[in-house]
Amino acid sequence: MATTTLPEFLRARRERLSPESTERRRTPGLRREEVAARAGVSVTWYTWVEHGRGGVPSDDVLERLARALELDDTNREMLFLLAHDRPPPRQHRPPAAVTPALQRVLDNLAVPALVKTPTFQIVGWNRAAVAVIGDYGALEEHERNMLRRVFDPDAAEFLPHADDMRRTCLAAFRVEIARAGASEEAAALVDELLATSADFRRLWAENDLHTHGVQHRRLVRPNVGELHFEVSTLSVDDSDGLSIVVLSPADDASARGVERLLRELGERP
């Protein structure tokens, strides 16, 4: 089956829109002249585009067509992919909050899982994460940041591989903030850690870049000892940059350790 073309996409989206007037029409949707007026382009040019003759629209015109056709984020992305064979420019918006549906995903996982923003701010977690990593709900919002936690001087007490963790987190952080677009929050976090952490300054100067991938991590917990995890980071669709970090026990002993910590959490007053 042939892939959708830009003219087919535009016609299909135009025909799905309801006209503002109540007049009866023989064909569904908006007329071409109505879309052209909404987008601020000539009717002739828009008609050419729908017939595959108008040339490649600029980013600005595509944005105006996206608004005129009332496209959501997914359809806006498809518009740019069809026109330019690339995604649209980044829109600088704050990351979405954890929805009830996303929280249910976390709660249904028996292994530790967190939700983070591109600036590594932790905005969601489950009971297993509380049992194994700590209670993020008991922390001030400023403290719920993965970079701040791994670059804390005391991190080595529970991270046997603290330096490797810091290096890989920072390399992935660089990629994520580049994808999300520069923000005041990211700049402030970098400035803060440059001023307060010699380790951060050293690793920031390395300019290392890579995505999360699947990382092997070790955590040391009191009364349980060392736990081994495979850490996977999964993007959350339609969330403006949120991702889920899942810590899967890498062996039976670690799985039993997580179960024990969950039992102990349930026994706390």
pLDDT at 180 (0 to 100): 76
Q: Is 91 inside any structural domain?
A: no
What's 22's domain CATH number? 1.10.260.40
Provide the token pair at 208: 């290392």
Residues of the chain with pLDDT under 70: 1-3, 20-27, 90-96, 182, 212-214, 268-269
In sequence order, the 6+-apart residues with CB closer than 8 A to the CB of 59 are 80, 84, 88, 89
How many CB atoms sit inside 10 A of residue 6's CB?
Answer: 20
Do 118 and 251 lie in one domain? The reply is yes
Q: Which residue range is the domain that position 76 belongs to?
A: 6-84
pLDDT at 250 (0 to 100): 95
The total of structural domains in the chain comes to: 2
Q: Is 16 inside any structural domain?
A: yes
pLDDT at 91 (0 to 100): 65
What's 179's domain CATH number? 3.30.450.180
Provide the token pair at 175: 């990629």
Do 105 and 210 lie in one domain? The reply is yes
Do 125 and 248 lie in one domain? The reply is yes
Q: Is 90 inside any structural domain?
A: no
Do 223 and 117 lie in one domain? The reply is yes
Do 79 and 205 lie in one domain? The reply is no
pLDDT at 52 (0 to 100): 87
pLDDT at 53 (0 to 100): 84
